[in-house]
A and B are shown apart, each in its own frame.
Chain A
Amino acid sequence: MISRIDKDHSRFREIVRGKIRKNLRKYISRGDLMSRKGKETVAIPMPSIDIPRFTLGGNQRSGVGQGDGEPGDPVGPGQGDGQAGAGQAGEGEGQKSLEVEVTLDELAEILGEELGLPRIEPKGTESLDTQKDRYISLRNTGPESLRSFKATFKRALRRQLASGTYEAGRPIIVPVREDKRFRSWRTDPKPQSNAVIIYMMDVSGSMGDEQKEIVRIESFWIDTWLRSQYQGLESRYIIHDATARVVEREVFFRTRESGGTMISSAYKVCAELIEREFPANTWNVYAFHFSDGDNWSVDDTATCINLLRNTLLPACNQFGYGQVESPYGSGQFIKDIRAAFPSEEKLVTSEVTGKDDIMDSIREFLKGGR
């Protein structure tokens, strides 16, 4: 039976979720969540969930206290909440500002609901999961072939000892039906992942700290959401300035580098990566690239377009390009590739001008549900 308080509690959680949804933009654009992993909870400060009343507030906190000290001395830290009259010592009360804890997965789920993102259907090769049976426990019924001799023998011995039919001189154990124990299995899904997401990020000098932050946050949420959708999803991270390299997830979300911009370097690494590890006929490949679009040269852009046309787009389910507006204005690259692929479905482009656009940009990228 669900107790009353649990119902009230879940109503409360619902309200909290509603509040989170309302302010999702704000929470999504918070950078400090990025150090967390999926199952970890994050504390989200809530605009107070309180019942408004006509109360005395005034503009200055004051009250009556007790203890030593001269006028002008500070009252100890964390004491006095302005309503000293309520005095909360020794009681289980005293909630003022509210911090609710949600897991990142929950947050991603709310994000999904709020954006109306489709659940991504894995396509291409058969199933994502394979199953593996593991024999780990016993049960009372089962086929003879799975009978566990040891357990059955022990039960029978115990029964005979207890009922006094066991003779030490003639130790014959005869199991009856109740004694029999059979090995039993559990089916563990073993993720056979065949989807990979490749994130590429421009960390060149023209990307200001704010731009990098935006890119990190955006790819973080895409990553979190996609991970909550796929079991055992592979992901790879590439950072580039004038040269590109594959890095760890942690590094991707934290490095700050600077240098020139050669987008083609990243695309080359990406193409090699796909060829080496994720052949297109067995893998679903999703690639996202974020940059300020300020590419080094026209030639390099041409190289990029070539790479996209000949290698990347055929290999990927979707290629997302997000361009962040930098202090030097938005780059040319997005226009170039839009011009080069006017009606290419697999290529999704999105422009991000500030933190507030992150949500829309994520929607742009993921609404296709490829």
Chain B
Amino acid sequence: MAPIPPYLRELQAQVQGYADDFGLDYFTQVFELVDYRQMCEIASYGGFPVRYPHWRFGMEFDHMLKSHTYGLSKVYELVINTDPCYAYLLEGNSQVDQKLVMAHVYGHNDFFRNNHYFSRTDRRMIDVMANNASRVRRYMDRHGVSPVETFIDVCLSLDNLIDPWAVFRDPPAAKRQREREREREEEDDDDHRVGRLQNVRGYLDDYINPPEFIEKQRKARQEKREATKRKVPRQPERDVLGFLMQHAPLDAWEADVLGIIREEAYYFLPQMQTKIMNEGWASYWHSRIMTERALEASEIIDYADVVSAVFSAGAGQLNPYKLGVELFRDIERRWNVGQFGPEWDRCDNLQARTNWDKKLGLGRQKLFEVRRLYNDVTFIDEFFTLDFCREQKYFTFTENRRSGRLEIESREFLKIKNSLLGQLTNFGQPFIYVVDANYLNRGELLLGHRHEGKDLKLDYARDTLRNLERVWRRPTSILTLIDDKPKRIRFDGSEVTISDESEAFRV
């Protein structure tokens, strides 16, 4: 790794100047020049120079190096969300490429700094990761490489079980405080009112609200309250990792390793929540910076060549770069000409719609607002319109069971949008809750999967339960739906069983 040579420094100053012109608001940007091997190394560490030792980084590296060597793919840009923001340039790239990467990186940098979902991430993550790494190394020295590595495997297998909104909520202590208060209030309120129907004629009261019925209701409610009072967790809890840290019987080092994995999972979460937006935003800016300012006439062909590959919308693949950049362009256009709001929505005159131009010029302002406030789900939900969908020729595809090939299923707007949103909701992961830590009063851990239309992958679910058992040290189960039937998958320490349940899990 080396600081960049003078000609690249000049280039950076130039690109940064353009970024300033466009009003991008970024962290101090640092570029490093690396050769392709180092690039693969850093990329397999997720952009960080130091991570804890683990074989999966080696696997990533193996794969990247191979695809690089065989020319299948190439890591173009690598930028991390830190302050100052680090990005890596590949040695031997042409000047156009470097310029393009720089422009792109300034877009990411601006996004990291300003998007709301990144606001709670630790911007000094390089140091944090390095510290985590040295702690893990120390544990390996003390307890042996394989036990620690195996335990990391276990933790990683659970690292998608986190609560995306936890960071924006009250700290746990305040939360508990508030819960207590609510309980007290509930206890105080008049028990007699429970289950009572409204009754204006006093003499009918015994018929409309028979005392024994009211009494039953009151008892039931009290029982329920008593039951939840002792229940851990009180309410289904989405931060499974956090829950395990607090409640699982772990050694000190194990709890620490679990904490490390959780911390890093939360750090990477916003990047998964804003993949389309982030890439779209960076692509939008590199294309404006390059085409309006930075490109020289002789570089246009090379530029177009690279960019067309980046934006290529393979028929069956959703390209986040393409989708993102087109949406941002669409938003800018619509807000410039005023194609939004109730008046636009109500208008069904095709002629009027095509010639719609209120000359508002709000596009730029809207763009920056969107990049600050949205994530992929809300972004798609709000701006993926029928017109956009038609224009960009989106479709849903599905597997033909007989031939096994993928076929275009439909071009119906709602279907497409639902499918897109389905993929993005909860960053593409299932909703899983801790339901009961003392299931059947036997200390078993019960999770619940909130079914949103797609089943869990069964073989993976089995293995994950095994790993969960390793942490919980008691049998573990998960409630889910398999082919629309409520089931419970359980691992008791020696075998996995699947049994029928009477009711599906709901929150």
CB proximity to B under 8 Å, residues A59-98: 59-76, 79-92, 94-95
22 chain-A/chain-B pairs, Cβ below 8 angstroms: A5-B41, A5-B57, A9-B61, A12-B59, A52-B463, A53-B429, A53-B464, A56-B454, A56-B455, A61-B406, A64-B395, A65-B408, A66-B323, A66-B392, A67-B315, A67-B393, A72-B407, A76-B314, A80-B406, A81-B317, A87-B317, A90-B309
Question: Interface of chain B, helix or strand or loop or mixed?
Answer: mixed
Contact A75 B406, beta carbon cutoff 8 Å: yes
Contact B408 A75, beta carbon cutoff 8 Å: yes
When distances are taken between beta carbons in the complex, the residues of chain A under 8 Å from B149 are 11
When distances are taken between beta carbons in the complex, the residues of chain A under 8 Å from B478 are 54
When distances are taken between beta carbons in the complex, the residues of chain A under 8 Å from B395 are 64-67, 69, 71
Stretch at the interface among B26-34, B47-55, B212-220: B47-55
- A79 in contact with B464 given A11-B149, A54-B430, A85-B428 (CB within 8 Å): no
Bound-state CA distance A91–B416 (Å) is 24
Q: Output the least CB separation between B185 and chain A (Å).
A: 36
- Is A58 an interface residue, CB under 8 A from the partner? yes
Bound-state CA distance A117–B17 (Å) is 69
- Is B43 an interface residue, CB under 8 A from the partner? yes
Contact A64 B460, beta carbon cutoff 8 Å: no
- Is B312 an interface residue, CB under 8 A from the partner? yes
Q: Given contacts A8-B55, A12-B55, A55-B430, could you give 11 more A-B pairs where the C-beta distance is less than 8 Å?
A: A52-B461, A62-B396, A62-B409, A62-B419, A64-B318, A64-B395, A65-B408, A66-B323, A67-B393, A70-B408, A92-B67
- Is A10 an interface residue, CB under 8 A from the partner? yes
Instruction: Pick the most buried of A52, A84, A88: most chain B CB atoms within 10 A of its CB.
Output: A52
When distances are taken between beta carbons in the complex, the residues of chain A under 8 Å from B40 are 5, 92
Bound-state CA distance A14–B399 (Å) is 37
Bound-state CA distance A58–B423 (Å) is 13
- A8 in contact with B396 given A64-B423, A91-B73 (CB within 8 Å): no
Contact A67 B467, beta carbon cutoff 8 Å: no
When C-beta atoms are compared, the residue in chain B nearest to A67 turns out to be B315
When distances are taken between beta carbons in the complex, the residues of chain A under 8 Å from B461 are 52, 54
Sorted nearest first, the 3 A-B pairs with minimum C-beta distance are A57-B457, A79-B316, A80-B316
Instruction: Pick the most buried of A12, A58, A60, A95: most chain B CB atoms within 10 A of its CB.
Output: A12
When distances are taken between beta carbons in the complex, the residues of chain A under 8 Å from B312 are 89
- Is B456 an interface residue, CB under 8 A from the partner? yes
Contact A89 B456, beta carbon cutoff 8 Å: no
Q: Output the least CB separation between B72 and chain A (Å).
A: 9
- Is A39 an interface residue, CB under 8 A from the partner? no
Contact with A along B381-415 (1 / 0, CB 8 A): 00000000000111111110100011111110000
Stretch at the interface among B153-161, B191-199, B328-336, B434-442: B153-161
Contact B407 A56, beta carbon cutoff 8 Å: no
Contact B157 A57, beta carbon cutoff 8 Å: no
Instruction: Pick the most buried of B59, B309, B455, B483: most chain A CB atoms within 10 A of its CB.
Output: B59
- A62 in contact with B318 given A57-B454, A68-B393, A90-B76 (CB within 8 Å): no
- Is A245 an interface residue, CB under 8 A from the partner? no
Contact A85 B314, beta carbon cutoff 8 Å: no
CB proximity to A under 8 Å, residues B300-332: 309-310, 312-323
When distances are taken between beta carbons in the complex, the residues of chain A under 8 Å from B411 are 71
